[in-house]
Structure 1
Amino acid sequence: MVLLLCWDPLPAAEAVSGNQDLITDILLRLPVKSLLRFKCVSKQWLSLISDPQFSRLHCSLASAGIILCQTTGLIDHISCGRRNSEPPFTSLSFINDSAGTKILQSCNGLLLCCSSFKLGKSCSYYICNPSTRQYLMLPPPNAEGYDGITTSFGVHLAFDPSKSSHYQVICVRSCSTSSAASNSYQIETSSAASNSYQIETYSSETRNWRLSGSPFSAPFDMVFDNGVLWNGTIHWISPTGASLCFNIDQEHLGAMPSLPSNEKWSKRRLRYFRESGGHLHLIEIYGSSTTQFQVFEMEKDYSRWIPKYQVDLSAIVDAFPEMVRSYIDTHESRFYVFSLLFVQEDEEDSLLLLHIPGKFISYNLRDRTFKEICDFGPNCTKANTSLQIGCVHVYQFIDTLAGV
Structure 2
Amino acid sequence: MSTKYKRLSIQSHRGFPLHLPENVVVEILLRLPVKSLVRFRYVSERWCSLISDPRFAKSQFRRASERSQRLLISSRSGIRSLDCEAPFEDSSTPSVHVVPFQKRGRYVSIIGSCNGLVCVSLYSHRDFYIWNPSTGNYRKLPDPGISLHGRKYWHGFGYDPCTDDYKLLVANFRMPPSRGSEGKVFSFKRYSWKRIPRGLEDPGYTEDSAGILCNGSLHWYLQLFPEPLSEQ
TM-score tier, shorter chain, comes to 0.7 to 0.9
Residue 229 of structure 2 is matched in structure 1 by none
Residue 69 of structure 1 is matched in structure 2 by 73
Residue 168 of structure 2 is matched in structure 1 by 169
Q: Unaligned regions of 5+ residues in structure 2, if any?
A: 227-232
Return the match for 1:209 from 180, 184, 193: 193
CA contact (8 A) 1:172 1:198 kept: yes
CA contact (8 A) 1:172 1:200 kept: yes
Residue 230 of structure 2 is matched in structure 1 by none
Tell me which amino acid in the other structure corresponds to 1:75: R
Residue 106 of structure 1 is matched in structure 2 by 113
User: Per the alignment, do residues 31 and 155 of structure 1 end up closer, same or farther by CA in structure 2, a change over 3 Å counting?
Assistant: same
CA contact (8 A) 1:142 1:210 kept: no
Q: Which structure has the highest helix share of the two?
A: 2
What's the TM-score, normalizing by structure 2?
A: 0.73
The superposition leaves residues 14-40 of structure 1 with CA deviations (integer Å, 9 ceiling, x where unpaired) of 35x422111110101111111001112
How far residue 202 of structure 1 moved from its aligned partner, in angstroms, is: 0.8
Tell me which amino acid in the other structure corresponds to 1:78: D
CA contact (8 A) 2:157 2:211 kept: no
How far residue 138 of structure 1 moved from its aligned partner, in angstroms, is: 2.5
CA contact (8 A) 1:113 1:125 kept: yes
CA contact (8 A) 1:203 1:209 kept: yes
Return the match for 1:237 from 217, 221, 224: 221
Residue 307 of structure 1 is matched in structure 2 by none
Q: Distance in 1 between matches of 2:137 and 2:188?
A: 14
User: Per the alignment, do residues 70 and 237 of structure 1 end up closer, same or farther by CA in structure 2, a change over 3 Å counting?
Assistant: closer
How far residue 92 of structure 1 moved from its aligned partner, in angstroms, is: 3.4
Q: Distance in 2 between matches of 1:204 and 1:235?
A: 21
Residue 128 of structure 2 is matched in structure 1 by 125
RMSD: 3.6
Residue 365 of structure 1 is matched in structure 2 by none
User: Per the alignment, do residues 200 and 89 of structure 1 end up closer, same or farther by CA in structure 2, a change over 3 Å counting?
Assistant: farther
**Residue aligned with 1:9, SS:** helix
How far residue 168 of structure 1 moved from its aligned partner, in angstroms, is: 0.7
CA contact (8 A) 1:95 1:101 kept: no
Residue 305 of structure 1 is matched in structure 2 by none
How far residue 159 of structure 1 moved from its aligned partner, in angstroms, is: 2.5
Q: Distance in 1 between matches of 2:123 and 2:107?
A: 5
User: Per the alignment, do residues 142 and 103 of structure 1 end up closer, same or farther by CA in structure 2, a change over 3 Å counting?
Assistant: closer
Q: Which structure has the highest strand share of the two?
A: 1
The superposition leaves residues 375-402 of structure 1 with CA deviations (integer Å, 9 ceiling, x where unpaired) of xxxxxxxxxxxxxxxxxxxxxxxxxxxx
How far residue 68 of structure 1 moved from its aligned partner, in angstroms, is: 4.4
CA contact (8 A) 1:222 1:236 kept: yes
**Residue aligned with 2:100, SS:** coil
How far residue 116 of structure 1 moved from its aligned partner, in angstroms, is: 3.7
What's the TM-score, normalizing by structure 1?
A: 0.45
Q: Distance in 2 between matches of 1:224 and 1:91?
A: 23
The superposition leaves residues 35-67 of structure 1 with CA deviations (integer Å, 9 ceiling, x where unpaired) of 001112233322221223212221222215122
User: Per the alignment, do residues 87 and 149 of structure 1 end up closer, same or farther by CA in structure 2, a change over 3 Å counting?
Assistant: closer
Q: Distance in 2 between matches of 1:215 and 1:92?
A: 39
CA contact (8 A) 1:153 1:224 kept: no
Residue 276 of structure 1 is matched in structure 2 by none
How far residue 215 of structure 1 moved from its aligned partner, in angstroms, is: 0.9
Return the match for 1:40 from 39, 42, 59: 42
Note the 1:261-280 alignment, pairs <5 A: none
Q: Unaligned regions of 5+ residues in structure 1, if any?
A: 180-195, 243-404
Tell me which amino acid in the other structure corresponds to 1:167: Y
Return the match for 1:80 from 82, 85, 95: 85
CA contact (8 A) 1:68 1:78 kept: no
Higher relative contact order structure (alpha carbons within 8 Å, sequence separation ≥ 6): 1
Percent identity, aligned pairs only? Answer: 26
Residue 25 of structure 1 is matched in structure 2 by 27
CA contact (8 A) 1:156 1:227 kept: yes
How far residue 90 of structure 1 moved from its aligned partner, in angstroms, is: 3.0
User: Per the alignment, do residues 161 and 37 of structure 1 end up closer, same or farther by CA in structure 2, a change over 3 Å counting?
Assistant: farther
